[in-house]
């Protein structure tokens, strides 16, 4: 925990590790999106490097959800439910709608997408098909709607029942699908408890890890499972596509965000970053302020980064399949995206397109 002095002289306390997690998760997303060569399977060193990136950085979206839970489930300690929804509306929903509209215009004029009329455009928006990287928001908003209810349950005295809830989610989302995949024996969907559906497991896990001191005897096995999971994700994806790949039909069976490997990776990253004494390394006021700034612009970076990637793709000649591109481009895209967000946020009226 450190103190940040704002422009008006107010001192605010922040969890440094959460800012670090936000920043590295944002950068990791860009690493994933600049390694899209992985979806065009080839047995080559470049493809193997792209697959390494996908396996090593497969945790940021779950970590984002875990951070949302850790930061927002106990919002009643700071403000009312009305204020909660107002803040989510202004910070997340409005920028998402604006950038979806920008993406719609972009796809029409720059990518020659054709819509039969307004109904098709609305359908594209409602189904999440306007801009592929915005799928995350369609997962996040339903969780926000549930937070006022869930927040009543997430209390220190309920930790045991919350761990039970997480175990249920992990079992039905990660273990059962693996058993089904390898045995071809499938569970009737009606037997899956509703409270385990989707990304709710990460919501529970995020709050628990943020509010629990995890001992080394637990952390070490989690890290080991995470590393083994990433290795299994790498070789498993290679193996299934080597045997069955057809153009346009990449097998993502081992790349599920709800799989054992991703749960372990997300938990390991969260716990390791939480464990590091960041205040010992980030002492100077300028470095703390920079970290907070990068954390605050992360959602804006997420909104704009794929436009930046497409700009470079269309205007600067380079090979997306090269290892050099996959190593260097994430840094370029991140830096450009951060600058865009910072500059636009200083322009009156227009600044509201970014949170």
Give per-residue pLDDT as tens, 146-177: 999 999 999 999 999 999 999 999 999 999 99
- Using the predicted structure, report yes or no on whether residue 197 has a pLDDT greater than 60: yes
Give the global pTM.
Answer: 0.92
Q: What is the pLDDT of residues 9-28, one digit of tens each?
A: 333 567 899 999 999 999 99
345: closest CA among 333, 337, 353? 353
The H or E element that residue 106 is part of is helix 94-109
Q: What is the mean pLDDT of residues 67-71?
A: 96
Among 127-131, 199-203, 249-253, the range of highest mean pLDDT = 199-203
User: Hey, where are the domains in the chain?
Assistant: 2-74+151-353
pLDDT (0 to 100) of residue 261: 96
350: closest CA among 42, 102, 16, 129? 102
Q: Are the beta carbons of 125 and 96 closer than 8 angstroms?
A: no
The separation between CA 176 and the C-alpha centre of its own chain, rounded to angstroms, equals: 24
**Pairing relationship of beta strands 2-5 and 11-14 according to DSSP bridges:** antiparallel
- Using the predicted structure, report yes or no on whether residue 29 has a pLDDT greater than 50: yes
Longest dimension (CA), the chain: 62
pLDDT (0 to 100) of residue 13: 64
The H or E element that residue 204 is part of is helix 200-210
CA dihedral 154, 160, 166, 171 (to 10 degrees): -160
Q: What is the pLDDT of residues 261-272, one digit of tens each?
A: 999 999 999 999
Please tell me the distance from the alpha carbon of residue 299 to that of residue 77, in angstroms, as a whole number: 24
How much is the mean pLDDT over the chain? 91
Spell out the long-range contacts of 239-247 with Cβ–Cβ below 8 A and sequence spacing 24 or more.
241/41, 242/41, 242/43, 245/41, 247/40
158: which DSSP letter?
Answer: G
262: closest CA among 241, 232, 219? 232
337: closest CA among 71, 97, 99? 99
Q: What is the pLDDT of residues 82-121, one digit of tens each?
A: 999 999 999 999 999 999 999 999 998 887 778 878 998 9
Residues 210-219: b if buried by 16+ CB within 10 A, e if exposed: beeeeeeeeb
pLDDT (0 to 100) of residue 296: 96
């Amino acid at each position: 925990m450190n103190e940040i002095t704002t422009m008006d002289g107010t001192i605010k306390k922040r969890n440094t590790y959460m800012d670090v997690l936000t920043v590295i998760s944002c950068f990791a997303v860009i690493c994933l999106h600049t390694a899209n060569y992985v979806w065009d399977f080839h047995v080559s060193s470049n493809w193997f490097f792209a697959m390494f990136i996908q396996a090593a950085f497969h945790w940021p979206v779950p970590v984002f959800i875990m951070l949302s839970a850790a930061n927002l489930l106990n919002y009643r300690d700071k403000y009312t439910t009305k204020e909660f929804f107002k803040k989510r509306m202004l910070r997340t929903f409005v920028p998402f709608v604006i950038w979806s509209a920008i993406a719609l215009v972009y796809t029409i004029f720059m990518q020659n997408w054709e819509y039969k009329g307004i109904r098709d455009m609305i359908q594209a928006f409602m189904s999440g098909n306007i801009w592929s990287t915005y799928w995350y928001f369609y997962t996040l908003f339903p969780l926000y709607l549930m937070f006022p209810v869930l927040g009543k349950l997430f209390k220190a005295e309920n930790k045991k029942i919350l761990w039970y809830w997480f175990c249920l989610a992990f079992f039905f989302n990660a273990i059962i699908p693996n058993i089904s995949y390898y045995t071809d024996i499938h569970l009737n969907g009606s037997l899956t408890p509703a409270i385990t559906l989707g990304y709710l497991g990460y919501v529970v896990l995020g709050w628990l890890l943020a509010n629990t001191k995890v001992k080394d005897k637990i952390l070490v096995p989690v890290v080991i499972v995470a590393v083994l999971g990433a290795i299994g994700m790498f070789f498993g994806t290679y193996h299934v596509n080597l045997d069955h790949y057809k153009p346009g039909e990449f097998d993502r069976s081992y790349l599920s965000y709800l799989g054992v490997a991703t749960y372990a990776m997300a938990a390991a990253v969260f716990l390791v970053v939480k464990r590091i004494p960041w205040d010992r390394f980030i002492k100077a006021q300028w470095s703390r302020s920079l970290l907070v700034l990068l954390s605050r612009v992360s959602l804006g970076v997420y909104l704009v980064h794929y436009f930046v990637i497409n700009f470079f793709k269309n205007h600067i000649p380079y090979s997306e399949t090269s290892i050099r591109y996959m190593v260097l481009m994430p840094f370029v895209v991140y830096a450009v995206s951060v600058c865009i967000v910072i500059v636009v946020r200083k322009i009156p009226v227009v600044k509201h397109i970014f949170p």
